[in-house]
């Protein structure tokens, strides 16, 4: 279960750790009408909102992408929305979803890019999957390239970070404002450090 810095702040500024929300599923009521839930990936925030207030759930790379709500009639005849909790299995879901995508890259048909590309090799796919596991909550967007590599991308308002995983190396490219930096990393742990620095 990944909670980290995530909290929900209600309209009175009270902060609730998401684990508490989770543990009181069905009991955390904000008394708001028409609460809806928005989701953003890659550094955005999750928040539940009505027209007046937003209830934020932190701003770490957002993997809390399932917040279920129910509306029900109150004793006074109004409508009350209840946040039933955040699915903390999402980290796993996002990772699994990425893993599934990356695994599919080795089954791409020959000429998948209409310009003679081959599927991504098993070695690259396995390496990319290992890295996804290591990155935990910081799941990237994943893409195949037509040069037998898998690309991981992080993009926020702050900048852009990319890793290109090949059979014999991992290259990175970083863009922060006008500044660009590229190079190769020596280990998977270094990838993790670069990602942490990016979000620091």
Q: With left for phi above 0 and alpha for psi between -120 and 50, is residue 51 left, alpha or beta?
A: alpha
Let me know: does 55 contact 8? Beta carbons within 8 Å. Answer: yes
Residue 145 CB neighbour total at 10 angstroms:
16
Of the candidate spans 6-14, 22-30, 112-120, 186-194, the one that interacts with another protein by CB under 8 A turns out to be 112-120
Residue 16 found at the interface with another protein (CB under 8 A): no
Whole-angstrom distance, CA of residue 48 vs CA of residue 66: 11
Which one of 21, 94, 151, 154 is in contact with another protein (CB under 8 A)? Answer: 151
Of the candidate spans 27-35, 86-94, 108-116, 128-136, the one that interacts with another protein by CB under 8 A turns out to be 108-116
Residue 54 CB neighbour total at 10 angstroms:
14
Q: How many CA atoms lie within 13 A of 94 on its CB side?
A: 24
Residue 39 found at the interface with another protein (CB under 8 A): no
Closer residue to another protein (CB): 49 or 104: 104
Cβ of residue 90: shortest distance to another protein, in angstroms?
17
Residue 37 CB neighbour total at 10 angstroms:
19
Which one of 81, 144, 165, 191 is in contact with another protein (CB under 8 A)? Answer: 144
> Could you give phi then psi for residue 112, rounded to 5 degrees?
-65, -20
Residue 131 found at the interface with another protein (CB under 8 A): no
Residue 65 found at the interface with another protein (CB under 8 A): no
Interacting residues with another protein (CB under 8 A): 40-42, 104-105, 108, 112-117, 141, 143-149, 151, 153, 155, 160, 162, 164, 171, 173, 175, 180, 182
């Amino acid at each position: 279960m990944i909670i980290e810095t995530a909290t929900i702040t209600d309209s009175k500024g009270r902060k609730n750790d998401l684990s508490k929300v989770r543990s009181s599923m069905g009991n955390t009521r904000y008394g708001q009408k028409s609460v809806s839930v928005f989701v953003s990936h890659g550094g955005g925030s999750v928040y539940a909102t009505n027209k007046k207030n937003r209830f934020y759930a932190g701003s770490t790379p957002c993997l809390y992408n399932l917040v279920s709500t129910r509306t029900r009639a109150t004793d006074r005849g109004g409508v009350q929305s209840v946040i039933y909790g955040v699915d903390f299995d999402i980290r796993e879901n996002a990772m699994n979803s990425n893993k599934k995508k990356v695994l599919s890259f080795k089954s791409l048909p020959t000429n998948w890019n209409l310009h003679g590309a081959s599927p991504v090799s098993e070695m690259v796919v396995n390496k990319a999957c290992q890295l996804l596991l290591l990155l935990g909550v910081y799941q990237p967007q994943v893409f195949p390239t037509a040069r037998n590599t898998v690309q991981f991308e992080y993009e926020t308002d702050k900048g852009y970070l990319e890793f290109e995983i090949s059979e014999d190396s991992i290259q990175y490219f970083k863009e922060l404002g006008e500044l660009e930096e590229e190079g190769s990393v020596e280990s998977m742990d270094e990838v993790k450090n670069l990602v942490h620095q990016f979000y620091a």
